[in-house]
Every structure is written in structure tokens, then in C-alpha cells.
């Protein structure tokens, strides 16, 4: 039975297993709740608003979505550097990063607010019959997005201290408030402008609680006092500059397929392709919610120069990513056809092969997401950004070449082929050169996990063959039974109880020594 801790490199991670499990579980619950609410609420919104007003709503949010580009990688920079300062117990440095980040995001929010007012004013002068309604929705949603920019610092600070349970709890509360407010507004026969106001009102108590959470957890921070310090600002900008290129590359990898499909194949094909991409994005978000809680652990270990602990956490996180993403990939392959048929109808079953191909590409990506977090934690984000940009360029070029000959499948293969090369060959080499974790050690630790994952999926496969029918009850029952039958042996043999208890004790000791937990 393999212990969760490699015998040759024992160390003491900085946060308790219980705390990380709470954070991971709450993130997954938030994602599941948002997914379920969207699944059931979207048809109700469409029917209540009508096609025109719903189109206005979708247009406004699609337009405002580009505001995130003004982040310029600063969210990642603030999160990483505050985690680093927490690991070194350097309250003064944490305060400088916090106040500088608050100043930068405050200025960004003001710029976005001005831009929103100008855009809304211009739209309002159009002769289009819905111009004023569009202008008001853009104004309300845009100002909401602008006011939320400084909140990135508060949520980032809580996450840097591994308080994912708090931030996820706030997001869950916000999701519920928006859902309740939406239903009430629509039942009272209000329109899309009321829907925008509901989003504003639902966010106010959540933001107040987030500010209070930072004040309570980190009393040394001057919570509402932004102060820009040039040296700190430059440090954050140096970190964030390559990050924004990596984020733009991610947009190319995961969002330009729609443009390629619509141009070469047509709008109808795009509707079918988007069924696959929607499910794939849920897959990606779910796995990142599970393993993303390790990011502050890696940064704190780097701040304490705990190289052995950092390498250990990379391997543990990669193994966790392999087994969790492997199970979801199995589920997509085993249940995806039945689910699409029941959800969208038989006419959309041609999205299933595309879904399988894209899911394999996502599996190669998210199963190794912990090593990407480690590159960020060790300030090697620029190297990953280069790799990401190269993969995105290859993705775009191959998709354009293959789409005229192979249709939607060609676009999907254009995503998969670069992912195989980058994630299986380039990324392990990059991890070896920048983090000192040899490719041999990397694969020696992770390949047994991959084989065990495959072995423990045999019983879920038999359950699927016996139980699955194209109905929601049997699909969800099959998924639940399969998850239990996979998770129990996987946990026992891969992350056994002895290793978990040992890891919990060591992480608790380091947490106390770092001053982030009371000895009791």
C-alpha cells in the first residue's frame, strides 16, 4: 500500500488536510450549485424574458466579459506574493502587497466605470428600438463589474491564506441570492433591467462579508486603505505581465474554436459544437476546484525554501489530479452519449465524439495543473506563458487546417494534438528544469496512479453497462454508484489512512509554527 508521502522526501506542508479538504469540497459544491441553478434557471429566464430581452442580457454579459482583460495578471500576482509573505510571516510585506493591489484594482475599477458610462451613453443614442434598454443593462452590469474589481484583492487575500471555505461559502450565498432574486423579479413580471439590479443587490452583502472576513482574519491589514508603493507595484507588474499572455493563450485554446467552426462549417454546426465545449468547461472547472486549493501550499513552501516539500506537494497534487480527472473522463465517455441525448435530444448526438476528443485534451491539461501552480509559486510563470502561447498558436493553426477537411472533429483534433505534445513531453521537461523534479521521478510517481485509476474503473464500467439508460434518474444513479465504487478503493490504495493521518499531523505542526493556527 503506497503512502501519500514519498518515503525519501518527507516534509511538513503549511496547511492542515482538513482545511484543504473543506476548501476543496466547498469549491466543488459552489461549482455544482452554480451548474444546477444555471441548468434549471436558464430555460425559465428565457421563457420569462422572451428571446429579445434574453438576447440583450446575453449580449451585455458577453460584452462586459472582456473587462477581465484589464486584470493584467494582477490577481495572480497579488495572490502569489501575499501567499509568499504569509509563508515568511512577513506582515509588513503582506500589507504592502495588499494596499498596492487595492490601489491598482481601485484605479482599474474607476477606469472601467468611466468606460461603461461612455459606452452606455453611446449605445443609448442609437436608433435601434431596444437601444435604451441595452444601454441601461450595460450601464448596470458594467458598473457592477467595475465595482467588483477591488474585491479581487479581498477574495485573493482570503484564498492566499487557504480560506477557500470562506470564499466559496460567500460565492454560494451570492449564487443563492441571485437565483432567488431572479425568480422573484420574473414572477413579478419585471424585465431584464430588474434582472441586472438583482445582480447588483445580491452582490452587496457578499462583498461586505468578504471585507469583514479579511479584517477578522488579518487584523494587521489596513483593509480599506489603498496605498500604491512604486517598488511593490513594479514587482506585481513584472509577475503579472507574462500571466496575461498565458491567459490570452488560454482564451485562444478554449474559445476560438467557436469562431473556427462558425467560419468553416456554419452556425448550425457551432450550436452542436458548443454543447461539447460547455460540458468540457464544466469538467475543467470542477477538477481545478478540487486541486486548486494546493496553490497557497506551494507558494508558502517556496517562501520557506522547502524544496523537498514543494516537490512532494507537486507529486501528491498530480496524483490527485490524475485520479479525479481520470474518473470524470471515464464518466464523459461512458455517460456522455446518454446525457446529451436526454438533455438536448437525438439531433445533438453528433456533439458526443467532439466531447470525447476535447475531454481527452482537458484531461492532459488539468491532471498536471499542480505543476503549473508550482511554476507560478516559484516565479517561473513566464516560462509557462511561453509554452501556453506556443500551444495556443499550434491549436489555432491546426484547427484552421483540419476544419475544411474533417469538420468539427478536425477542430477538436486541432486542440488535442498540441495538448499531447505539450502536456506529455514539454511540460514535464519544463518542470524538471525549473523545479528540479526529474522527468523520471515525475513519471515514476504518477504512472502507478494512472494504472490504478484505470484498474478501479473496471467496476464502474460494469455498473454502467448494467444500469445506464437514457433517463436522468438512471444517469445520476449510475454516476453516484460509480463514484462511490471508484473513490473507496482509490482512497485506500492510493491515499491510504496511515499516510493521511501522518500528513495531517505534519501539516498541522507547520501551520502552528507559521503562526497561522492556534496550537489547540
Provide the pLDDT confidence category of residue 323 given band limits of 50, 70 and 90: very high
Report pTM. Answer: 0.76
Which pLDDT band, with edges at 50, 70 and 90, does 126 fall under? low
pLDDT of 99 above 90 = yes
The tens digit of pLDDT for each residue in 180-208 reads 999 999 888 888 888 889 989 999 999 99
User: How far, in whole angstroms, is CA 87 from its chain's centroid?
Assistant: 24
- pLDDT confidence bin for 322, thresholds 50/70/90: very high
pLDDT at 5: 35
What value does the mean pLDDT take over residues 209-216? Answer: 93
Q: Which helix (H) or strand (E) holds 315?
A: helix 307-343
| Residue 200 cell numbers, joined | 447588483
User: How far is Cα 514 from Cα 82, in angstroms, rounded to an integer?
Assistant: 14
pLDDT of 4 strictly over 80: no
Q: What is the pLDDT of residues 423-449, one digit of tens each?
A: 989 988 888 888 888 888 888 888 999
CA separation, residue 50 to residues 46, 55, 320 (Å): 5, 8, 44
Mean pLDDT, rounded, of the chain: 83
Can you spell out the DSSP letters for 108-157?
HHHHHHHHHHHHHHHHHTS-STTHHHHHHHHHHHHHHHHHHTTHHHHHHH
pLDDT digit string, tens, across residues 53-87: 777 777 777 677 677 777 878 888 888 889 888 88
The percent of residues above 90 in pLDDT, for the chain, comes to 31
- Look at residue 18 in the predicted model and tell me its pLDDT: 61
What pLDDT score was predicted for residue 2?
A: 38
Least confident span in 215-224, 233-242, 293-302, 431-440: 293-302
Instruction: Round to whole Å and give the CA distance between 64 and 147.
Output: 13
**pLDDT over 90 at 252, yes or no:** no
- Local confidence band at 122 (pLDDT 50, 70, 90 cut-offs): confident
Helices then strands, each counted (H, E), the chain: 20, 0
For residue 277, pLDDT beyond 60: yes
**CB distance 357 to 413 below 8 Å:** yes
Q: What is the pLDDT of residues 349-408, one digit of tens each?
A: 998 999 999 999 999 999 888 898 888 888 888 888 888 889 989 999 999 999 999 998
Confidence of residue 492 (pLDDT cuts 50, 70, 90): confident
pLDDT-wise least confident of 233-242, 252-261, 334-343, 482-491: 252-261
pLDDT at 10 over 90: no
Amino acid at each position: 500500500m503506497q503512502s501519500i508521502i514519498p518515503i525519501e522526501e518527507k516534509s511538513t506542508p503549511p496547511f492542515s488536510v482538513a482545511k484543504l479538504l473543506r476548501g476543496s469540497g466547498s469549491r466543488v459544491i459552489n461549482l455544482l450549485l452554480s451548474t444546477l441553478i444555471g441548468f434549471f434557471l436558464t430555460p425559465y429566464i428565457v421563457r420569462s424574458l422572451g428571446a429579445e430581452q434574453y438576447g440583450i442580457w446575453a449580449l451585455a454579459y458577453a460584452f462586459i466579459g472582456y473587462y477581465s482583460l484589464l486584470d493584467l495578471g494582477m490577481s495572480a500576482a497579488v495572490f502569489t506574493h501575499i501567499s509568499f509573505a504569509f509563508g515568511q510571516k512577513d506582515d509588513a510585506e503582506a500589507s504592502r502587497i495588499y494596499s498596492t493591489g487595492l490601489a491598482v484594482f481601485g484605479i482599474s475599477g474607476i477606469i472601467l466605470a468611466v468606460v461603461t458610462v461612455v459606452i452606455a451613453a453611446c449605445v443609448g443614442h442609437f436608433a435601434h428600438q431596444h437601444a435604451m434598454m441595452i444601454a441601461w443593462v450595460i450601464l448596470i452590469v458594467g458598473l457592477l463589474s467595475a465595482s467588483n474589481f477591488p474585491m479581487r484583492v479581498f477574495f485573493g487575500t482570503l484564498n492566499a491564506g487557504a480560506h477557500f471555505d470562506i470564499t466559496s461559502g460567500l460565492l454560494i450565498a451570492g449564487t443563492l441570492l441571485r437565483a432567488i432574486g431572479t425568480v422573484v423579479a420574473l414572477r413579478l413580471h419585471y424585465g431584464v433591467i430588474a434582472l441586472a439590479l438583482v445582480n447588483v443587490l445580491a452582490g452587496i452583502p457578499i462583498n461586505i462579508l468578504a471585507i469583514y472576513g479579511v479584517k477578522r482574519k488579518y487584523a494587521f491589514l489596513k483593509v480599506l486603505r489603498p496605498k500604491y508603493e512604486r517598488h511593490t507595484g513594479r514587482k506585481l507588474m513584472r509577475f503579472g505581465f507574462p500571466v496575461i499572455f498565458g491567459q490570452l493563450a488560454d482564451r485562444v485554446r478554449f474559445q476560438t474554436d467557436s469562431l473556427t467552426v462558425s467560419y468553416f462549417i456554419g452556425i448550425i454546426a457551432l450550436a452542436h459544437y458548443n454543447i461539447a465545449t460547455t460540458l468540457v468547461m464544466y469538467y475543467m472547472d470542477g477538477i481545478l476546484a478540487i486541486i486548486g486549493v494546493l496553490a497557497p501550499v506551494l507558494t508558502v513552501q517556496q517562501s520557506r525554501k522547502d524544496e523537498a516539500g514543494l516537490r512532494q506537494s507537486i507529486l501528491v497534487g498530480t496524483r490527485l489530479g490524475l485520479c479525479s480527472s481520470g474518473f470524470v473522463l471515464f464518466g464523459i465517455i461512458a455517460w456522455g452519449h446518454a446525457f446529451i441525448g436526454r438533455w438536448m435530444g437525438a439531433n445533438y448526438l453528433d456533439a458526443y465524439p467532439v466531447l470525447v476528443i476535447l475531454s481527452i485534451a482537458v484531461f492532459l491539461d488539468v491532471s498536471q495543473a499542480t505543476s503549473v501552480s508550482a511554476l507560478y509559486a516559484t516565479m517561473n510563470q513566464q516560462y509557462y506563458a511561453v509554452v501556453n502561447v506556443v500551444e495556443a498558436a499550434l491549436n489555432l493553426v491546426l484547427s484552421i487546417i483540419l476544419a475544411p477537411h474533417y469538420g468539427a472533429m478536425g477542430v477538436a483534433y486541432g486542440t488535442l494534438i498540441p495538448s499531447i505534445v505539450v502536456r506529455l513531453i514539454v511540460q514535464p521537461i519544463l518542470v524538471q528544469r525549473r523545479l528540479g523534479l526529474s522527468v523520471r521521478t515525475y513519471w515514476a510517481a504518477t504512472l502507478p496512479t494512472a494504472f490504478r485509476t484505470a484498474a478501479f474503473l473496471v467496476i464502474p464500467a460494469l455498473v454502467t453497462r448494467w444500469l445506464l439508460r437514457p433517463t436522468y434518474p438512471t444517469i445520476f444513479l449510475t454516476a453516484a454508484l460509480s463514484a462511490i465504487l471508484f473513490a473507496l478503493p482509490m482512497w485506500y490504495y492510493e491515499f491510504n489512512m496511515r499516510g493521511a493521518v501522518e500528513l495531517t499531523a505534519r501539516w498541522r505542526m507547520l501551520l502552528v509554527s507559521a503562526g497561522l493556527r492556534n496550537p489547540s
